[in-house]
A = this chain, B = another copy of it.
């Protein structure tokens, strides 16, 4: 099975309004509730691809209960650890006139030391059965900034390949623990390394400890810098749509191809086809299987000179 970790899960709400006007009153025409947080999104995509997928992390309070009810309808297994606090909400307000989204993210509950210990115990129980583990998203209040580094060391000790998708100081500390893959976006990579040029920044991130760096570059697709080479995988076509969840779909594609023991170019094809299908989907963060399968053979991965 594939294990995804989401320490800061969220109940994702989407509101549609005819037009968002600050300081006015709005009638919401459509409400959507989804289980969220990056690792949960990754797991939903993996489950849709047919992988046996387990979700862990934290959930609590009334929002956590709704999240778990919604998660039970997804093709993933729920191994979330209960907490006393109320799981945060995130709200995406979609303006039907412009198609733009305004995002409002609650801060999330504070996790206690006892809850963190309970999680470490659960994580240790789950790892032996995992073919790969993904550590995704921000850290909630109460969790020490080196938490991902700790989880990476445990996974590596258990011989489980580990992918890290986070930002800021948790990414910096995590990379030093030598994860198999990190998947920053251009902004996160620049923030980490100080280099704005993606290839240079990705090489720098490898020197800091990551075995492979897969950078998501928006409309330019993915750039992978690994021990065995450097690849660029642009989207198969110029796509217009909602980029919400495209990065999480790319992570799912990388993990899916990793456990299927595919070489790097095929991993990138899968990741790019999935993230492009997600952008094209009318529902944010979802993808249509048919679109993914149509796009997959169209992704042209470009090999470049081996990484230094």
Which A residues form the contact surface with B (CB < 8 A)? 15, 17, 20-29, 31, 62, 65-66, 69, 91, 93, 95, 98, 100-107
Closest chain-B Cβ to A243's Cβ sits at a distance in Å of 12
Contact A20 B22 (CB under 8 A): yes
Chain B hits for A103, CB < 8 A: 24-26
Closest chain-B Cβ to A19's Cβ sits at a distance in Å of 9
Contact B28 A95 (CB under 8 A): no
Closest chain-B Cβ to A248's Cβ sits at a distance in Å of 16
Contact A102 B23 (CB under 8 A): yes
Closest to A99 in B: B23
Closest to A103 in B: B25
Q: Which of A23, A95, A105 has the most CB of B within 10 A?
A: A23
Instruction: Provide the bound-state CA to CA distance between A119 and B155, in Å.
Output: 56
Contact A22 B25 (CB under 8 A): no
**Pairs A–B under 8 Å by Cβ, sample size 12:** A21-B102, A22-B102, A23-B95, A23-B102, A24-B103, A25-B105, A26-B102, A26-B103, A28-B104, A28-B105, A62-B62, A62-B65
Chain B hits for A69, CB < 8 A: 62
